[in-house]
Structure 1
Amino acid sequence: MLARAEFTVEPFTEGRQGPHVQAAINALAPLSPEIGPFGTSVEGDLDVVLDRAAAGIRAAMEAGATRVAVTMTVTP
């Protein structure tokens, strides 16, 4: 099953990725994150996306994030 996770990591600083955002992005490997102006998304096998999403949330929080919002979408 294919899954897509979209992340918004706060606090948000316009024009740069804080260490909490970079930590989340780094934790998404081996997936290839698409980094947008307000969020980051990844696609892949459901099990891999779920595993990496959990790692991304944990990494962001440990690096100082105050909020992480995640939206998951699956395609059967």
Structure 2
Amino acid sequence: MRLRAEFTTEPFHGEGAPPPHATETMKVLEKAGLVCDFGPLGTSVSGTEAALLPALQEVLAAAFAHGASRVTLQVERDDD
């Protein structure tokens, strides 16, 4: 099954470079071989269940390890 996830890490920083709790999550996804769409208000990624679910666990760990106070995550089927 294919899945699509969208997540946002907080606290949100408006101007300047994205904070480590956001950029480190992108590195986790890339290391897992997943292509993500990184944006100022969140990140989206899709992939197989087998690839994405373990990567999301690492995303959460990386976000909190690098200063996130909250991570909002949505996951849905992407069987188009």
Output the TM-score relative to the length of structure 1. Answer: 0.91
CA distance in 1, matches of 2:46, 2:78: 11
Size of the aligned set, in residue pairs, is 76
Q: Is the 8 A contact 1:9 1:67 kept in 2?
A: yes
What residue in structure 1 maps to residue 22 of structure 2?
21
The alpha carbon displacement at 1:46 in A equals 1.0
Q: Show structure 1 runs of 5+ residues with no match.
A: none
Question: Is the contact made by 1:5 and 1:43 (CA closer than 8 Å) also made in structure 2?
Answer: yes
Identity %: 36
Looking at structure 2, the residues matched to 32 and 40 of structure 1 have their Cα atoms a distance apart, in angstroms, of 10
Q: Deviations over 1:31-71 (max 9, x none)?
A: 01101231101001012111111111100100110000110
* Within-5 A mapping of 1:30-69: 30-69=33-72
Alignment check: 8 A CA contact 2:9 2:22 kept: yes
User: SS of the residue aligned with 1:20?
Assistant: helix
Quote the Cα distance in structure 1 between the aligned partners of 2:78 and 2:34: 17
> Please, which moves more after superposition, 53-62 or 21-30?
21-30
Q: Which residue of 2 aligns with 1:70?
A: 73
SS at 1:35's partner residue? strand
